[in-house]
Structure formats: structure tokens, C-alpha cells
Amino acid sequence: MIAVLVNTATVLVGSLLGILLRRRLKAALQEALMKALALCTAVIGISSAIATQDLLCVIICMVIGTAVGELIRIDDGIEHAGDAIKAKLFHGKSAENRFTEGFVSACILFCIGSMTVVGSLEAGINHNYSIIYAKSTMDFVSSMAFGAAMGLGVTCSAAFVLVFQGALTLLASLVGPALSTAVVTEMSAVGGVILIGMAVNMLGLGKERIKVANMLPAIFLPIAWFPLVSWLQSLIS
């Protein structure tokens, strides 16, 4: 868990530094940094997604996972959490306009992707923290840019990083030894697709914001995919 605490601290400190420095950064520069970060997010997502060895798995998991997420309205839940935190912090006073957007975007960016999945599995199974430490370095830089552009919402996302990545690491320590390399690869690939959606939102390319948080259940569906496929193949043969 020490690596998770380090990752949480980097998001916390990085975002606060970004907030302190943002008054010295022109709005145009902040916007340029956000676009650059969006492109980096897209590259990370694409590199994870194209590593898939089972495209059908990714497609089916994305479809079912998104349907589940839409039904239980995960995106709305995270937004409401962001609004509630904003109300608690500012007590009805003039608040930052991008607080909730920053909270939701940062939660997804820092907790979704191949480095989160693989890093948590390595930490939980093999006590290898190198991937999460590398991720922490990247998150420190990203949180500075996000903090400068979106404010305290990014800082508050550190709590989500602690809970989500900590739970994933603990889960990995319990069930990780039973997960094959193929399962981990497809979990990362699905996470990559979600990150691409995140990049689209950050660049403002769609007419409406993609509710990427509703896609989160898809990340865990490859765990069930391979046993199901093996069972169906046994029935056919």
C-alpha cells in the first residue's frame, strides 16, 4: 500500500502546486497545456488498446460494461460526489466553475489505464511497486497541469485515487494469482479505450461529453470473459 500512498501524495502535492502557479500562467497557456495533456492521454490509451490479443473481448466487455454503468449511473454518482464536496468546501460561496469537471476528469485520468491495472496487480501479487512509482511521476506532472486549469477539484480527486487504487491493489493480492496474462492484457486494453474517450472529452471533439465513468465496469469483465469462452467452446466441442 505504500506505493498507493505515494501516488496519492503526488496528485495532492502536484495539484496544489498547479493551483499556486496558475495565476502566473496565462489562460491561453493553461488551455494549451490541457490540450497537450489530452493528446498524451490519447497516446497512452491507444498504446494500451492496440495491445489487445482479443478484440472481440474488448468490444463485448465495453458494450456490456457501458450498459451496466449507464443503468447504475456511475458518471452521475461521481459528478454528484464532486458537487457535494464543492458545496462542503465553499459553503454556498462563489466556487470554482470547473471544480466538478476537474474532479471527474482527474478521477478517471489517474485511476484508469494500463499502468493502474498492471501496476496494482504487480504491487498486490509480487510486491513490485516500480510501475506505480513511475505512474506517480507522470501523475505529478499531470496533476500540476490539471490543477492550474481546473483547481481544487483535482486536489480532491486524490481521495478517489487512494480508495480506488488501494482497493484494486488489495483485490490483486487476493485474486491476482488466479488471473492469467491474457486477462490482465485485456483489462489494460479496455482501460485504454476508456482513456481515448477521456481524451476526446478533454479536446472537446464531441457534440456531447462522453460519460466515460459509465464505462468503468468494462475493465473488470475480462475476468469473466475467458472462463465463459472456455465453457462455450467445451459445449461446442
Judge whether 30 lies within some domain: yes
pLDDT at 92 over 70: no
Q: 39 falls in which pLDDT band (50, 70, 90)? A: confident
Supply the range of the domain harboring residue 178: 2-232
Helix/strand/coil (H/E/C) assignment for every residue in the chain: CHHHHHHHHHHHHHHHHHHHHHHHCCHHHHHHHHHHHHHHHHHHHHHHHCCCCCHHHHHHHHHHHHHHHHHHCHHHHHHHHHHHHHHHHHCCCCCCCCHHHHHHHHHHHHHCCHHHHHHHHHHHHHCCCHHHHHHHHHHHHHHHHHHHHHCHHHHHHHHHHHHHHHHHHHHHHHHHHHCCHHHHHHHHHHHHHHHHHHHHHHHCCCCCCCCHHHHHHHHHCHHHHHHHHHHHHHHHC
Judge whether 176 lies within some domain: yes
Contact 7, 136 (CB under 8 A): yes
- As a whole number of angstroms, the distance between CA 48 and CA 37 comes to 17
- If you average pLDDT over every residue of the chain, what do you get? 83
Judge whether 43 lies within some domain: yes
pLDDT tens-digit readout, 164-194: 888 888 887 887 677 788 988 898 889 889 8
pLDDT tens-digit readout, 115-142: 777 677 778 777 778 778 878 887 888 8
Amino acid at 235: L
Judge whether 237 lies within some domain: no
- As a whole number of angstroms, the distance between CA 220 and CA 22 comes to 37
Distances (CA, A) of 65 to 7, 29, 32, 141, 221: 27, 37, 33, 30, 7
pLDDT tens-digit readout, 3-37: 889 999 999 999 999 888 877 777 777 778 778 87
* Long-range pairs, 133-136, Cβ under 8 A, ≥24: 133/3, 133/6, 135/7, 136/3, 136/6, 136/7, 136/10
**How many domains does the chain fold into?**
1
Report pLDDT for 63: 97
pTM of the model: 0.77
Judge whether 126 lies within some domain: yes
How much is the CA Rg of the chain, to the nearest whole Å?
18
